[in-house]
Amino acid sequence: MKEIAVVNGTVYDPLNGIDGQKLDIFIRDGKIVTSVGKKARTINASGKIVMPGGVDIHSHIAGSKVNSGRLLRPEDHRKDVELKTEHTYSGVGYSVPSTRTTGYRYAKMGYTTVFEPATPPLKTRHTHEELDSIPLIDKACFPLLGNNWLVMEYLREGRINECAAYVSWMLKATKGYAIKIVDPGGVEAWGWGRFLRGLDDPVANFDITPREIVRGLCKVNKILNLPHIIHVHTNNLGNPGNYRTTIETMDAVKDLWDGKRPIIHITHVQFTGFSGSSWLNLGSGAPEIADYVNKNHHVSVDLGQVIFGDTTTMTADGPFQYFLHKLSGNKWVNVDVEAETGSGVVPFHYKRSNYVNAVQWGIGLELALLVNDPWRVFMTTDHPNGGPFTSYPKVIAWLMSRKAREKTMSKINRTARRRLDLPTIDREYTLGEISTVTRAAPARSLGLANKGHLAVGADADVAIYDLDPSKTDLEKNPILLRRAFKEASFTLKGGDVVSKDGKIAGTSFGKTFYVESDVSPSLEADLVKEIESKFRDYYTIELDNYPISENFLRNPSKITCEADI
Ligand SMILES: [Zn+2]
């Protein structure tokens, strides 16, 4: 029996309504409990804050495109080397860290759960191999389904139950967690040299539109009762004026809402929050998007905050990556994944002095500060697309401190500063709101009942930071905020201390969550018969070689859902 008492900390646990109270947290065998015995190890959290472990809903940490990014960028690794220590392997990587370094760096910041948001189903075996070698955090991955030939065929034919059975089979086969949609129909269209511009542009050869794909998969999500909602990267990413597509995409499923939890998550909205009609008059569409989110409760969003500096962009949005390669002149990789999806990788440098980059920086922060409900806006940088996840402390400082924003704003492109609303926004996030947007809200959105909070029965994933809100005016001291969130005093994962004062102290490997829906066996049997012939036509591999068995994963954790078919 392993017991720990975290005593005298100032606790921020928004899912349980705790906002800065002095409380003791008790842990036994990896879970939060009501009390512990006298022999329990005591961690003194006096003068410190205590939060649930961080939960990252969208961070590209594993899989074939991440690995392509590593291969493409030796210069990214040379400047950032981690030496071997007693508890750690050596590693490299600034914007695309090696697998073990990824786990260590998240753990140091107090993060304990991270979801990889885009895996091509056919390449998910590789994704799991990498997830399995990332230590200290729980994880999961979202298979890409918005350009999948079978999904598009089923939806075109109006066979929604068969589509649901296929998605269920796919999640089981790939050990995936949620439905990811990237540039619905647009990646397939681009495979034939065509660009989709709007939600109602038909996809070549499939006679289906992005609107129909998003609506269809939203219905499928509901039929399968999946723990998360459809996770959507909209069409037109990176194009001036695309904030309209973002709002139209959210609005396309509004009538499907049952008044309960949100039904669509729009990811990295910074990249799809551009107003204007060209790069010259580009502006922030964040006020319009935030207004829509404030008025419509069927949606949630995450930021995709830009961090100035060097990074590596990577996305299933092949057409956008082609465009970015042309725009920047930087080297690139682009891939088509058989009948499923595509992807691209391009290094990028966000400059303060660049007008467009400075507007992008402003869009993410405006969105975070203008959406009123912190339960529906999550903090991300779309790692590594907006910047590396190791920059989260900077984002927290910008959200909590007007002074921090003003300091950065004084250095950005002047025209961008004049055109952004950001200088007029006074809001400063509280620690409770930070705890919401970095752990409680994403955990709730992902349907992780035992994560993102510290009530009895929750997983003992706990972060303790060296900040004393009773002694310091935090918003006036952004440097303190950055320092504290960069290196947690303690990170506990499943009740074990895995990081202490920025030093890794554990060697454990977390769980990999995946979802299975109990679709009726006869429907599934019919489906498998049907997709056997499709596999012969569409794929270079046999159907038998496609599914990933549970014992392929180091530490699988199945979540079962009751399907309505
Ligand atoms: Zn992403």
List the pLDDT tens digit at each of the 565 positions of the chain. Answer: 899 999 999 999 999 999 999 999 999 999 999 999 999 999 999 999 999 999 999 999 999 999 999 999 999 999 999 999 989 999 998 999 999 999 999 999 999 999 999 999 999 999 999 999 999 999 999 999 999 999 999 999 999 999 999 999 999 999 999 999 999 999 999 888 888 889 999 998 999 999 999 999 999 999 999 999 999 999 999 899 999 999 999 999 999 999 999 999 999 999 999 999 999 999 999 999 999 999 999 999 999 999 999 999 998 888 889 988 998 999 999 988 888 988 899 999 999 999 999 999 999 999 999 999 999 999 999 999 999 999 999 999 999 999 999 999 999 999 999 999 999 999 999 999 999 999 999 999 999 999 999 999 999 999 999 999 999 899 999 999 999 999 999 999 999 999 999 999 999 999 999 999 999 999 999 999 999 989 998 999 899 999 999 999 999 999 999 988 8
In angstroms, rounded to a whole number, what is the distance separating the alpha carbons of residues 224 and 562?
Answer: 7
509 CA distance to ligand 1 middle (Å): 24
Beta bridge partners of 239: none
Q: Going by C-beta distance under 8 Å and a sequence separation of 6 or more, which residues neighbour residue 44?
A: 7, 8
In angstroms, rounded to a whole number, what is the distance separating the alpha carbons of residues 287 and 293?
Answer: 10
Q: Given the DSSP bridges, would you call strands 41-44 and 3-13 parallel, antiparallel or unpaired?
A: parallel
Residues 242, 269: contact at Cβ < 8 Å?
Answer: no
How far is CA 455 from each of CA 25, 52, 114, 216, 459, rounded to the nearest angstrom?
Answer: 9, 10, 21, 37, 9
562 CA distance to ligand 1 middle (Å): 28
- Our CA angle for 473, 381, 291, nearest 5°, is 80
Phi first, then psi: what are they for 246, rounded to 5°? Answer: -60, -50
Question: What angle separates helix 210-224 from helix 160-174, to the nearest 10 degrees?
Answer: 70
Instruction: Say whether 236 sits in a helix, a strand or coil.
Output: coil
Query: What is the token pair recorded at 522?
Result: 């006869």
Q: Identify the H or E element spanning 478.
A: helix 478-486
Q: What is residue 520's predicted lDDT score, i.e. its pLDDT?
A: 92
CA atoms within 13 A on the CB side of 12: 24
Question: Which amino acid makes up residue 284?
Answer: S
Q: What is residue 165's predicted lDDT score, i.e. its pLDDT?
A: 96
59 CA distance to ligand 1 middle (Å): 6
Instruction: Say whether 89 sits in a helix, a strand or coil.
Output: coil
478 CA distance to ligand 1 middle (Å): 27
Q: What is residue 411's predicted lDDT score, i.e. its pLDDT?
A: 97
Residues 235, 184: contact at Cβ < 8 Å?
Answer: yes
Q: Given the DSSP bridges, would you call strands 462-465 and 49-52 parallel, antiparallel or unpaired?
A: antiparallel
69 CA distance to ligand 1 middle (Å): 14
Residues 145, 151: contact at Cβ < 8 Å?
Answer: yes
Tokens 């977390």 belong to 510
222 CA distance to ligand 1 middle (Å): 23
314 CA distance to ligand 1 middle (Å): 8
457 CA distance to ligand 1 middle (Å): 32
83 CA distance to ligand 1 middle (Å): 29
Phi first, then psi: what are they for 458, rounded to 5°? Answer: -70, 155
223 CA distance to ligand 1 middle (Å): 25
378 CA distance to ligand 1 middle (Å): 13
510 CA distance to ligand 1 middle (Å): 22
How far is C-alpha 515 from the chain's CA centre?
A: 17
Query: What is the token pair recorded at 25?
Result: 């947290």
159 CA distance to ligand 1 middle (Å): 29
In angstroms, rounded to a whole number, what is the distance separating the alpha carbons of residues 370 and 290?
Answer: 6
Q: How many CB atoms lie within 10 A of CB 41?
A: 12
431 CA distance to ligand 1 middle (Å): 26
Torsion of CA 397, 398, 400, 405, to 10 degrees: 120
Q: Identify the H or E element spanning 10.
A: strand 3-13
Q: What is residue 195's predicted lDDT score, i.e. its pLDDT?
A: 87
Q: Would you list the DSSP string of 171-203?
A: HHHHT--S-EEESTTHHHHHHTT----STTPPP
Q: What is residue 562's predicted lDDT score, i.e. its pLDDT?
A: 93
Q: Would you list the DSSP string of 74-131?
A: HHHHHT-EEPP-SS---EE-SSS--HHHHHHHHHHTTEEEEEEEEE-GGGHHHHHHHH
Total residues belonging to the chain: 565
Q: What is residue 213's predicted lDDT score, i.e. its pLDDT?
A: 98
Query: What is the token pair recorded at 210?
Result: 């992005």
99 CA distance to ligand 1 middle (Å): 18
151 CA distance to ligand 1 middle (Å): 21
Q: What single-letter DSSP state applies at residue 459? A: B
Torsion of CA 16, 20, 25, 30, to 10 degrees: 60
- Our CA angle for 74, 71, 133, nearest 5°, is 105
How far is CA 258 from each of CA 136, 253, 277, 297, rounded to the nearest angstrom?
Answer: 37, 11, 36, 10
Instruction: Say whether 336 sits in a helix, a strand or coil.
Output: strand
382 CA distance to ligand 1 middle (Å): 5
